[in-house]
Structure 1
Amino acid sequence: MNGKAVAKASKAEAELQEVLRPGQSIELLKELHILTREGRLNQDSRRKLKQVYHLFQFIEKLLLELPEEGTHASLADHGAGKSYLGFILYDLFFGPRGGGRVYGIETRAELVDKSRALAKRLGFDRMAFLNISAAESADAAELPAQIDVVTALHACDTATDDAIAFGLAKQARFMVLVPCCQAEVAACLRQTKALSLSRTPLAELWRHPLHTREIGSQLTNVLRCLYLEANGYQVTVTELVGWEHSLKNELIIARRTGQRKASAAGRLQELLAQFGLESLLETRFRPG
């Protein structure tokens, strides 16, 4: 290897070490195709890793609030996909502590099979992967009756609502949600648009199709936050990463207090009535 090649390799190694967290498994990142086989990081992978690390920081702080600083915590990751988040959480948090369990919940069987094989190969023996939907997971025998932390990173449309329902059923101490592709509320707004336009000038906010989609997305998350508050959670909403990295950027963190807010339940019902979405009281936002 000539001098230029050595210098280039050294620079690439230095850049990689700047990005990686201490103790991070290089082998894992290669298996997840975040790093190339040569151990290099491309621009797409850098963005993905930044997102996952940023979310890891939020979750790590919550885990440390649990008994024994989260050593024996349980975490369920909904819409796990290739389980980037679950594997990195295990590698950096659960693995070094020698306790705790991570459950990945994913509907695509091929991804579940690959994750199971990778966990076995790396010796991550306290990881389990379930080939079921978020809606089915609350009744799954493979999962314990109580889960400490529920995560859903870019779980599409109603899968985020199913993850919330799961968290409520499992009395989760924390829920960490990054919603994606909300379509259900927008579809309901389209169905009642003519009636709404005749009833209130507020319907101008979603008269045009593009605005319907945007208002539907915004309203969905507002309703979710009120629903969580009504069911005994303190809710914080923030950005996951800068907008230059992802448009699906809203991070909802819910902390269980056990104190149900009647005012939030009232506002939730008022908003549903105002937007002609009362039918969702029978599906997504059932009173507790």
Structure 2
Amino acid sequence: MKATAGKGRQQPRQEGSQKPHASKAEAAKAAVLAELRPGQSIELLKELHILTREGQLNQDSRRKLKQVYHLYQFIEPVLKELAADDHAPSLADHGAGKSYLGFILYDLFFKELGRGEIYGIEWRAELVERSQQLAAQLGFDRMKFFNLSVAASTQSHDMPETIDMVTALHACDTATDDAIAFGLEKKARAMVLVPCCQAEVAACLRQGKALQLARTPLAELWRHPIHTRELGSQITNVLRCLHLEASGYQVTVTELVGWEHSMKNELILARYTGQKKRSARERLEAILKEFGLEQALAARFGLSEPAVIG
């Protein structure tokens, strides 16, 4: 009887030990869901490795998710405007990589909207194939992926003649400029750009450094290599903004997320108004001349065309 009584006393302790464990798991799941947007596909986030197979977030995936969600806050209002009057908005995502942005935009916006298409442009064939497979698996049938460079996509017959929105998230070096050229060619109504690794202007500054040091004290701004790299990056984005304004876009520049999450943190949001600013073109020309960049970069920023009048 004592043995029986002993067994009877153990059972409640076993049940009690399971309850805290189950409660902890449920709390962890609830905490993850609280960080996601309503209606977000758990299956998608697992496939993108933003969530683990157990449905958890680690530090790196939480950082990625925060960046994409923060960017979505800027994109969503523009997409709503583009989708007005039953229009089917089109979006080209350049330098798509694993298409984190494209998939989440489709999942959060295009899926419920029921119309519109996303075109993912990526030069690495294995990533394009993987994205195609994932889109088919999830039933995201209005997502298309192309194995093209950003520059080549402008001339591709697979792309529509016009695109409503162009995005380029961390497209490296001149790929951001190619995305802008694509947007201008396709008469994009909006562009959302997060530049990355700008090296072209810095290389130009290094070539003429000795001459510039003799000509102007401003050359001290890029005398040291680290300053050359940083100033080259800054000048590049300023030139891009002026190019967009001279091409008829209203431009807003802001921070994507906190610097603790990413050093590639500058967000350029351009919306087409049709008002081409002559002053922006003039300042663009002046900056290129001041830094000795006219020969190398004038054509890239549209200065081979006649000046805008008005």
Note whether the superposition's TM-score is higher than 0.5. yes
Aligned to 1:106: 122
Summarize the Cα distance change of 1:214–1:45 in structure 2 as closer, same or farther, 3 Å threshold: same
Deviation at 1:282, TM superposition (A): 4.3
Equivalents in 1 of 2:51, 2:45: separation in Å?
5
The structure with more radius of gyration:
2
Find 1:87's aligned residue among 103, 123, 130.
103
Alignment partner of 1:139 is 2:155: yes
Aligned to 1:285: 301
What SS is found at the alignment partner of 2:81?
Answer: coil
Matches within 5 A, 1:152-167: 152-167=168-183
Find 2:90's aligned residue among 74, 89, 100.
74
Amino acid at match of 2:243: Y
Find 1:15's aligned residue among 23, 31, 35.
31
Aligned to 2:268: 252
Find 2:232's aligned residue among 210, 216, 236.
216
Deviations 1:95-127 (A, max 9, x none): 111100000000000000000000001110000
Aligned to 2:50: 34
Residue ranges of structure 1 left out of the alignment (5+ in a row)? none
Quick check: 1:197–1:203 contact (8 Å CA) kept in 2? yes
Quick check: 1:64–1:70 contact (8 Å CA) kept in 2? no
Q: Percent identity?
A: 71
Equivalents in 2 of 1:132, 1:5: separation in Å?
50
What SS is found at the alignment partner of 1:129?
Answer: strand
Equivalents in 2 of 1:71, 1:167: separation in Å?
19
Amino acid at match of 1:65: E
Aligned pair count reads 288
Deviation at 1:281, TM superposition (A): 3.8
Matches within 5 A, 1:115-264: 115-264=131-280
TM-score (ref. length: structure 2): 0.91
Quick check: 2:288–2:298 contact (8 Å CA) kept in 1? no
Equivalents in 1 of 2:295, 2:114: separation in Å?
46
Deviation at 1:244, TM superposition (A): 1.1
Equivalents in 2 of 1:70, 1:248: separation in Å?
36
Deviations 1:260-285 (A, max 9, x none): 10100000000000001012444421
Aligned to 1:3: 19
Equivalents in 1 of 2:185, 2:26: separation in Å?
51
Where does structure 1 differ by over 6 angstroms across 4 or more consecutive aligned residues? none
Summarize the Cα distance change of 1:69–1:213 in structure 2 as closer, same or farther, 3 Å threshold: farther
Quick check: 1:63–1:70 contact (8 Å CA) kept in 2? no
Equivalents in 1 of 2:23, 2:260: separation in Å?
30
Equivalents in 1 of 2:121, 2:86: separation in Å?
21
What SS is found at the alignment partner of 2:269?
Answer: strand
Equivalents in 2 of 1:166, 1:19: separation in Å?
35
Deviation at 1:57, TM superposition (A): 1.4
Summarize the Cα distance change of 1:70–1:270 in structure 2 as closer, same or farther, 3 Å threshold: farther
